[in-house]
Chain A
Amino acid sequence: MRRFTELIQKLEMSNKTNDKITALVEYFNEADDMDKPYVIAMFTGKRPKRPVNTALIKQWAIEQSGIPEWLFAESYHSVGDLSETIALVLPPPEKSIDRKLHEWINDLSALHGKDDAYKKNFILDSWNSLETQERFIFNKLISGNFRIGVSNKMLVNALAKQSDTDSNKIMHSIMGKWQPADITFDDLIQGTHVNTDNSWPYPFCLAYALEAEPESLGEPNEWQAEWKWDGIRGQVVKRNGELFIWSRGEELVTDQFPELHFLLDELQDGTVLDGEILSVKDGKVQSFSTLQQRLNRKTINKSQLEEAPIGFFTYDLLELNGKDIREESMASRREKLEMVMTTLKTTDVVALSPTVPFNSWDELAEIRLSSRDINSEGIMLKKRDSMYHAGRKRGDWWKWKINPYTVDTVMIYAQKGSGRRANFYTDYTFAVRDGDKLITIAKAYSGLTDKEIKEVNSFVLKNAVEKFGPVRTVKPELVFEIAFEGIAESKRHKAGLALRFPRIARWRKDKKADEINTLDDLRQLLQSTL
């Protein structure tokens, strides 16, 4: 596991993609062959089931470190990651063991079904045999939540370089169904298992955000415009009498969306659709917050089916009659997709995502402004003669999003940040006005410059009215414009509503606290999105 720990440290320390790829290549050159499929599984988000629950791990760590629970909580707040906090607060190890990564993983999965005393003994003994950095890795292995800033694309590029194999082939091979225990590294790279599995999805083609003016893209007639939907990217795969629905996170979500199961009967074998999973009621796309009620649920009840019915807006065809057509042009794929759609008998659940006709960029800019009316986030632009790329490639697909919603708020609480920012107040809570009261509406971490953070920090130090633990109540004086992507009803929040992806857009030094927005403004906005 030491070699793997070293890899993680190098990946985390480096800011440059090339250095990260070099670190990965070096790792795959040197690491134990049995370990490699496990590493690929981890980096692509294949999670083993958690063998020990978080509450127990935390409790044992507190016991071992001999600190009070509140101090553990403060430490956690400062570190921002539970696995890391535990690794840091534990006393230094008294022994040392060097075992292979896959041995650790197998030992952990062997804990399933054992009693707590057995588990505790194993975990404590492991902690006592590992250095801080290794412990952190070990804790991450327990949680299974290993996101380390390595995108699939980066991993695939490194593997392609290391094994001198085509990157698309590897991307295809590592996505989907395989178990690290049942496959060798070479077979995984060669993709020997790919053909046998009906579920294989294609890597999604991803768009870059359009930051320049659309005129820079050239002639309007070379481009197809569509609405950009705010849902879950999905790929519907129908092969050999089986139906699979993949989400962008490479998760199989087939069971979550029974509304789409009719496609098993109505789609031809050897068909793969790309599109957006949305909540659609009476033909109208609902807001993301409605869709959210349906996400990541193990079971779905009747009222959820009624309140947030699912639809699928398709915009691309990747496979037809079992043939990969991704190299055909967008225009040709679209034509074939339209044909496929005419063969469906059920027409109200799965629909063709409409194209948006336009003659000039100005006209499209005008149309784009109405995106919100239909719960769209803006416009997608796809080059008519482009192939379907694997992953993100600049130039052929662009998302031209409309600007986020904004609201003027006043800061009412501040809390210190973590790590290097632990000495600065960087986490803020914002309020809007409700009559003569202020009501909390959003919490946001700083989107401010270092200089502004320091300024806010000294304001907090001078204007703290009250403190609860690490939180300071401050005089409501500083006005911030908060940007957000959507708004939803929420019983958990005092305001009765919650903002989606709130962040600080800018510090409005030009405004006073009596000029901020009111809760009524936000309620009106909420009504208009329902």
Chain B
Amino acid sequence: MALINFTSKGIYCKQGDFYIDPWKPVKLAVTTHGHADHVKWGNDAYLCHELTKPILHRRLGVDLKIQTLRYNEEISINGVKVSLFPAGHVIGSSQIRLEYKGEICVVSGDYKVEYDGISTAFEPVKCHSFVSESTFGLPIYKWQPQEVVLSGIKDWISDNHDKKKTSVLVAYSLGKAQRLINGLAGYSDIYVHNSIANLNEGFINAGVNLPETIRITADTKKDDMQKGIVIVPPALAEGRWIKNLINPATGACSGWMQVRAGRRWRSADAGFALSDHADWPGLLSAIKATEAEKVYITHGFTATFSKYLNEIGIAAEEVKTQYGNENDEEVLETASEEPKIESQS
């Protein structure tokens, strides 16, 4: 009998009687990472990495039953051995490894193979069956090394400083924001939106070493922000808040920025292809490294990517899930949180 089943509530392990990243309330939700499409409210209990815990509290409230694990630490749930391995996607993101009577299955959630300097580096895990995302599962998606993208961002910021523009980077609160903060630290003062500052606070309390940032409040001076770098979540990207800054120039940081159509659709002034998901070569190398006999393809270019895997001799199947809308969820979460800017600077 298979170790996991794709049910209407989520990915279910019958032998262990728990779900992984369920989208409907269940007794035990084993959670890969803190993005809104992978963790929902209303489960009786959660099991996740110790650094995912502060995110769950931040997003779902304090009154939660959460058990945590470190990477490589193993526990047994109803005889199923459960352990976490780094997925390299965001801080705390984990691949869930299940083992039962010699059968091994790994559910990777979201992952990227390049080390981003802040999330524990992705570690391939050998298994019989592997569940993989396919957000960027087309051969047009091949990322430049992080330092190349960051140096492009720095050039852009310095050009904005010369032209007396305010550099506003648009990035998910969880993941991209910390990655930018880490990569741009020391280059200029970094001003962050509340939702980012709150998450950072949670990480710092949990012992993560994050560079210093400045939380944007009603007292923050527009002149100071113009001289520094502003980071906001996508929900604020097109709102009036940004328009109140001094000559704002927005830079969207997302894998979709790889393609010109993606840059046009998101009406930013600049686009940087910086992604927390694996690119095409990354997906292929990760899947091959698992040596899995069967691969299940979730959110993204599921049909295309699984068809290709089958053609190159890797048995793959496309599965329907409700993952893949991390952006939408974040819109809801932060839309009402526009900080006020003092009118006179």
Chain A positions within 8 Å of B, measured between CB atoms, are 12-16, 19, 65, 67-68, 70-71, 74-75, 78-81, 84-85, 88-89, 92, 418-423, 454, 467, 469-470
B139 x A420 contact (CB < 8 A)? no
CA distance in complex: A251, B141 (Å): 38
Of B139, B261, B271, the residue contacting A13 (CB under 8 A) is B271
Give 10 closest A-B pairs by Cβ, nearest first: A419-B261, A419-B262, A88-B140, A420-B265, A420-B262, A420-B256, A419-B259, A418-B261, A13-B270, A75-B140
Chain A residues near B271: list those with CB within 8 A: 13
A89 x B139 contact (CB < 8 A)? yes
Binding site secondary structure of chain A = helix
B266 x A420 contact (CB < 8 A)? yes
- Best-surrounded residue of A80, A421, A422, A454 (most CB of chain B within 10 A): A422
B139 x A71 contact (CB < 8 A)? yes
Chain A residues near B176: list those with CB within 8 A: none
How many of chain B's residues touch chain A, expressed as a range? 20 to 34
Chain B residues near A92: list those with CB within 8 A: 142
B265 x A421 contact (CB < 8 A)? yes
The residue on B at minimum CB distance from A80 is B261
B41 interface contact, C-beta 8 A = no
The residue on B at minimum CB distance from A16 is B269
B311 x A14 contact (CB < 8 A)? no
CA distance in complex: A308, B262 (Å): 42
Chain B nearest Cβ from A73, distance in angstroms: 10
Chain B nearest Cβ from A47, distance in angstroms: 20
A88 x B261 contact (CB < 8 A)? no
Chain B residues near A469: list those with CB within 8 A: 303
The residue on A at minimum CB distance from B311 is A68
Chain A nearest Cβ from B187, distance in angstroms: 21
The residue on A at minimum CB distance from B265 is A420
Chain A residues near B262: list those with CB within 8 A: 419-420
Chain B positions within 8 Å of A, measured between CB atoms, are 138-142, 254, 256, 258-271, 300-301, 303-304, 307-308, 311, 324, 328
The residue on A at minimum CB distance from B271 is A13
The residue on B at minimum CB distance from A81 is B260
Chain A residues near B328: list those with CB within 8 A: 454
A74 x B138 contact (CB < 8 A)? yes
Chain A nearest Cβ from B253, distance in angstroms: 13
Chain A residues near B260: list those with CB within 8 A: 12, 79, 81, 84, 419
Known: A75-B139, A81-B260, A89-B139. A14 touches B265 (CB 8 A): no
Known: A13-B270, A71-B304. A88 touches B265 (CB 8 A): no
Chain B residues near A420: list those with CB within 8 A: 254, 256, 259, 261-262, 265-266
Chain A nearest Cβ from B248, distance in angstroms: 11
Q: List 17 A-B contacts (CB under 8 A).
A: A12-B260, A12-B264, A67-B139, A67-B308, A68-B311, A71-B304, A74-B301, A75-B138, A78-B301, A79-B140, A79-B259, A79-B260, A84-B259, A89-B139, A89-B140, A419-B259, A419-B264
- Best-surrounded residue of B139, B301, B304 (most CB of chain A within 10 A): B139
Known: A71-B308, A420-B256. A79 touches B267 (CB 8 A): no
A13 x B140 contact (CB < 8 A)? no
A88 x B263 contact (CB < 8 A)? no
A423 x B261 contact (CB < 8 A)? no
Chain B residues near A89: list those with CB within 8 A: 139-140
